[in-house]
A and B are shown apart, each in its own frame.
Chain A
Amino acid sequence: MTTRFRRALDNVTRVRGVRGAMLVAGDDGLIVAESLMEGVRGNAVAALAASLHKRFRQSMDAGAAGAPHFLHLQGDGGTLIVVPAPDGILVVAVGDPNMNVGLVRLEMLRAAEGLT
């Protein structure tokens, strides 16, 4: 993993409650870089999060709402956040249900900006 990618992910995973963060190729659903706790199925999260982002993008296009900047899914057992970055890369984070979403979002947006 390049230093640039590692630094981008480290700032996200440093937030309390985050179980892992990844850079994912949006079109392919494949992991570009990852920093995950044991037990997180990275390839499954990457593939499904990329698919989800694609569907949301299509839905928003259909509604003339532009491209999504931030996806936040809240479940009983955890949280999934997706932030699109330039060049079709997605910053994806998974965490506890009570993690600080605002702070994670901030770090993910910074990570996405840092990839330009």
Chain B
Amino acid sequence: MTQTRAVEAWTLRPLERFVAEAGARLTLLMTPAGQVLAQHGFTRAVDVMSAAALGAAIVASSGELATMLRQRQFSALNHQGVEHGIFLGAFDTPRGRLLALVVYGPDSSVGLVQLFFEEFVTELAAAAPAEERGKAVLAADFERELNESLATLFGQ
């Protein structure tokens, strides 16, 4: 059975609702740095890490393109494939800027994903705690926190 799991508990209910309503196959909620807050549908840690890194890189690249074009940052990107589509959206919450990577199949559509993504963003913004500032990232803590996050995301 496909499961939805969250490192940060406040993201779980909005994500579960979004996945159910938009018919998303895979969803990853993360920070612009690629730190995963919650996921749905992934079964392997390596896939989550790869998707998070690639998603964050795409948003960063498109952000730089927007800067070069002297435009505001793109808020959403959609890659339409034959079987699957990939939707990548960035939005602000009290917890800071977040990204969502959504993979949907032929039983959904970009219109549905966009529609329920708006509600997802609103629910996350309402549920999000304030951003923690000034917290130093220590090398010693990094691996432990990463392993804890992956254990939470995959229930190990």
Q: Are A51 and B114 in contact (CB under 8 A)?
A: no
A29 CB contacts on chain B under 8 angstroms: 109-112, 115
How far is B114's CA from A51's CA once the two chains are assembled, in angstroms?
Answer: 13
How far is B114's CA from A46's CA once the two chains are assembled, in angstroms?
Answer: 11
Q: Are A27 and B109 in contact (CB under 8 A)?
A: yes
Cross-chain contact of A47 among B80, B107, B111 (Cβ < 8 A) = B111
Chain B residues in contact with chain A, CB under 8 A?
Answer: 80, 107-112, 114-115
How far is B110's CA from A29's CA once the two chains are assembled, in angstroms?
Answer: 7
Contacts A/B (CB < 8 Å), 16 sampled: A25-B111, A28-B80, A28-B110, A29-B112, A30-B109, A30-B110, A43-B114, A43-B115, A47-B111, A47-B112, A48-B115, A50-B111, A51-B111, A51-B112, A54-B107, A54-B109
How far is B119's CA from A48's CA once the two chains are assembled, in angstroms?
Answer: 14
Interface string of A11-36 (1 = CB under 8 A from B): 00000000000001101111000000
How extensive is the interface on chain A, given as a class?
10 to 19
Interface SS, B side: helix
How far is B110's CA from A43's CA once the two chains are assembled, in angstroms?
Answer: 11
Q: How far is the CB of B2 from chain A (nearest CB, A)?
A: 20
Q: How far is the CB of B34 from chain A (nearest CB, A)?
A: 28
Does A44 have its Cβ within 8 Å of any Cβ on chain B? yes
Contacts A29-B110, A48-B112 supplied; 18 other A-B pairs, CB < 8 Å: A25-B111, A28-B110, A28-B111, A29-B112, A29-B115, A30-B110, A43-B111, A43-B114, A44-B115, A47-B114, A47-B115, A48-B115, A50-B109, A50-B111, A51-B108, A51-B109, A51-B112, A54-B109
Q: How far is the CB of A58 from chain B (nearest CB, A)?
A: 9
User: Of all chain B residues, which has the CB nearest A47?
Assistant: B111
B114 CB contacts on chain A under 8 angstroms: 30, 43, 47
